[in-house]
Structure 1
Amino acid sequence: MLHMFSDVRSFRRDPLGFLLQKGNAAPLGLERLHLGPSPVMLVTDPDLIRPILKAPEHLIGKGRLIKKLTPVFGRSSLMLHGDEHKRRRAVLHKHMARGNVERYLPQMCAEIRAVGARIATAGTFDPQKYTAALALRTICIAVFGTQVISGGDEQALVRAVGLIEDDLADDMFRALPIGPVGWLRRRRRRTFAKLAMSTVVQRLRECAMKTSALRDLEELGLSDQDLRDEILTLLLAGHHTTGTTAAWVLYHMAARPDLAEAIAEEARRCSDPNGELRIEEVKRADISLNLVREVCRLYPGAWWFSREVLAPTQIGGRDLARGTSLLICPWQMQRDPRFWERPDEFDVNRRYFGDAYIPFGAGPRACAGMGVAMLELQLLALEMAAAYRFVGVAPNPAPWPKASVTLIPPPMAIRIEVRQGIAKEKTAA
């Protein structure tokens, strides 16, 4: 017999498998999950997503599941709603829109090449160990300007995120409180992580360009604490989701040498005589773009997000009470066989990405950093394929990712070698 906690054990043991099984087997609409005393409904119909996300905020808004992130993200735009959210989002959208970010293409490519050189020295590498810091540096270039964060700050921030992310993921759907010993350990980890993060944020504020998003946020009259929360959210959300997705981009190029070769040829077509990528050609580089789209389908950085019913309303023909959580899971919806042929198969030739494709959310609250992320991932594929040949990857096929705040890739070992033409150029130089 089902009871209010009957799904908790299955969810905590394997959240990805649980949501995939529940969602794919459920009728289109809303499927009740028994994860505690408060009702949680899994949204299984893509036609309901936009109505939910566009609903008036007095009916459906950010609820208790998202608010569990408050100890880390504070009063940032990720947590806010209403006019204050719109004010801050306008600033972020201005600086992270693809048209604005494209002017930093040379600097972004230079950072990717620098990481590629370090990887080539190792010969065999685990992509996750490199892509998180690369994504962090890229988001800093796009939003705050060049040369605003040091290598030491990068590593401090990446370590701080790793220290607390599993705790945050565990808190999301925890029905019962943890014991005093566990609570004390978590408090110590969060205190240490927040101190490291605050130090990085302060240094970034001192170095940011006058034309950066920071200056525009300051003009909104935000308090020092609100500015800190906003910057930290940009750094954490921007680098962590893209960094984990970037690891899968490299994995699939390594697992498909023919794909890597096709992207290498595409990179040559996109480059000027000096080997620099040209943005107008990158916009037409379909192979690398389709690789990024398909990776985002299989491994969405934000693998779930939620809303909460704030006043009695009706969704999908069902009456919902105040306090009902609506769980939207891109991981499940983007692997549902009702919307995708061979949903678990990597297929770079897919050409249809409809309403069931939501790796960056949808509607007015879609991820403001989508343009930055897509461009960065595409540049990563082009630059790495142009300079290096992928000669092996293990394990292949790779296991499923770990469900934390984002989808954490499993340990991988990718082997690369410098392309012969590149090696000759370096020798001549």
Structure 2
Amino acid sequence: MTATTATGYRTSRAPGARPLLGHAPALFRDPLPFLRSLAERGDLVELRLGPQRAMMCCSPDLFHHVLTDTRHFDKGGPLFDKLKWFLGDGLGSTPHEVHRRQRRQLQPAFRPDALSRYLEVMLEETLSTSSGWHDDAVIEIEQHAYQLIARIITRTMFSADGSSAAVARIAASYPDFHEGIGRHMRSPFRLLDRLPTSANRRFRQACSTVSQVVDGAIDARRLDGTGPGHDLLALMVKEGMGDREMRDQVVTMLTGGIGTSASALGWALFFLSRDPALADSVAKEAQAVLAEGAGVDRDLLTRLDLARRVVTETLRYYPSAWFFSRTVTSPVELAGRRLRPGTAVLLSPYLIHHRADLYPEPELFDVDRWLPARRARLPRGAYIPFGVGSRKCIGDVYALTEITLALAVITSRWQLEPLPGPVPHHLLEPRPWTVIHPAPLHLRLRRRL
């Protein structure tokens, strides 16, 4: 039953809760259809995750309010409580006061002058990756995207050698690492996380590999001094961080940067493979902007307008941060409901991005949504792929630049074609973990003349 409160918001309880498990099975088994269904139930919908009650924000203004009201809402809830076990006290999992200090310490690595230094690495790595492909070959796109993004991030953020064994180990481990984190975050019972399943074993091995590589990088930097003065490790050494805090920040940056950007790039290439005319237009734009001998600069996104709109629409359709939570820290009223401290508040950019009243035909991939006149009609909080407020992703501009440049370079050189036959079900209704993966995604390469 849906009720309208004195504030004008509609509130309800989601139907279909299972005994003991609540709505966890629906969220675990078919999360995206389940989330889409909640928008019809009201602006604030009560769920149960196992024995715990949680409130799902289904309207953009409530979403915006929760993320910007740091007096009453902070990181926490059933999702972040589990995430903290993997990420420790990194930027993505600390309470507000700690986060503010950490963000101030790390912000120089994401300023415009730093981004200018990263552009050449982004271009170099994308050219290197796409130069190694062969005409008429069939490749698994996300695997290549993971390797590309891992090399870009480790070179720009940590001054690693892109061809090193450490980079290869990170790129190989992060798919299992991401999947494992997502599976454990949504699991209603900790017992399931400890079962000796093949997936849990792969996850534990990935955790071990990531820890070994990160600890090795920190130890090496301690021995060699600060190294390059502009990368993230140098900043952390300069700020006097201990090994544990440095480790948590590095794992957070890798976790927040590799799988998210790799998946977004994979989906963007998938959508272009289904629309050859759009792909041709992106290729022509990219060939003009990235003409031989032309450099890359901070105006790149402006000049790659169509490629940028493809990425923007991709992040609407499948936002990387598709689901997260906050916890109530002091008594507060939300949409006319009184919430007590400890109440979990759930937020899903995917849900907001697929509301038909905000985005007509939300299941249609339409880059023209992002033409200036149409974009201006969107209400505040309708597009939030990187969050909002003081917790907005610190690397949002970095990620948009990285994905847009990679998409433009690849599309300018290669036409990617879907294989014959129907689209696989996992690409029509993906089952996300930490991010919404387009894997496996096999496409055929055709060299552009």
Q: Give the alignment's TM-score, normalised by structure 2.
A: 0.85
User: In structure 2, which of residues 431, 436, 447 is the aligned counterpart of residue 402 of structure 1?
Assistant: 431
Report SS of the residue matched to 1:78. Answer: coil
Residues 1:153 and 2:166 are matched in the alignment: yes
Q: Distance in 2 between matches of 1:215 and 1:258?
A: 45
- Which is further off, 83-92 or 286-295? 83-92
Q: Which residue of 2 aligns with 1:196?
A: 209
Aligned with 2:358: secondary structure? coil
Aligned residue number for residue 16 of structure 1? 32
Q: 2-side partners of 1:156 and 1:386: how far apart?
A: 29
In 2, distance between residues paired with 1:122 and 1:92?
A: 43
Q: Specify whether residues 328 and 58 from structure 1 end up closer, same or farther in structure 2 by C-alpha distance, changes over 3 A only.
A: closer
Q: What is aligned with 1:65?
A: 79
Q: Does 1:182 align with 2:195?
A: yes
Deviates more, 1:223-232 or 1:4-13: 4-13
1:366 aligns with 2:389: no
Whole-Å Cα distance in 2 between the matches of residues 405 and 55 of structure 1?
Answer: 25
Give the distance between the partners of 2:136 and 2:295, measured in 1 at CA. 25
Cα distance, 1:121 vs structure 2: 5.9
Q: In structure 2, what is the Cα distance between the partners aligned to 1:264 and 1:180?
A: 45
- Please say if 1:256 is aligned against 2:284: no
Number of matched pairs: 417
Q: Which blocks of at least 5 consecutive residues in structure 1 are unaligned?
A: 421-429
Deviates more, 1:302-311 or 1:102-111: 102-111
Residues 286/224 of structure 1: CA separation in 2 closer, same or farther (3 Å cut): same
For 1:138, the equivalent position in structure 2 comes to 152
Q: Is the 8 A contact 1:260 1:385 kept in 2?
A: yes
1:143 is displaced (CA, Å) by: 2.0
Q: Select 2:88's aligned residue among 45, 67, 74.
A: 74
Question: 1:415: which partner in 2?
Answer: 444
Distance apart, 1:135 and its partner CA: 1.2
Calculate percent identity across the aligned residue pairs.
25
Q: Show structure 2 runs of 5+ residues with no match.
A: 1-15, 222-226
Shift in alpha-carbon separation, 1:79–1:281, aligned structure 2, 3 A: closer
Amino acid at match of 1:132: Y
CA distance in 2, matches of 1:234, 1:93: 12
Select which of 143, 151, 168 maps to 1:129.
Answer: 143
3-state SS, counterpart of residue 69 of structure 1 = helix
Determine if contact 1:241/1:302 at 8 Å carries over to the other structure: yes
**How big is the shift at 1:276?**
4.6
Question: What secondary structure, in the 3-state scheme, does the structure 2 residue paired with 1:34 have?
Answer: strand
In structure 2, how many angstroms separate the alpha carbons of the residues matched to 1:237 and 1:383?
A: 23
Helix, strand or coil for the counterpart of 2:191? coil
SS of equivalent to 1:199: helix
CA–CA separation in structure 2 for the residues paired with 1:180 and 1:214? 32
Deviates more, 1:296-305 or 1:55-64: 55-64
| Alignment CA distance shift 1:81-1:7 (3 Å) | closer
Shift of 1:407: 0.7
TM-score (norm 1): 0.89
Counterpart check, 1:27 vs 2:27: no
Distance 1:200 1:39 in 2: 39
Which stretch of structure 1 is more off in the superposition, 118-127 or 259-268? 118-127
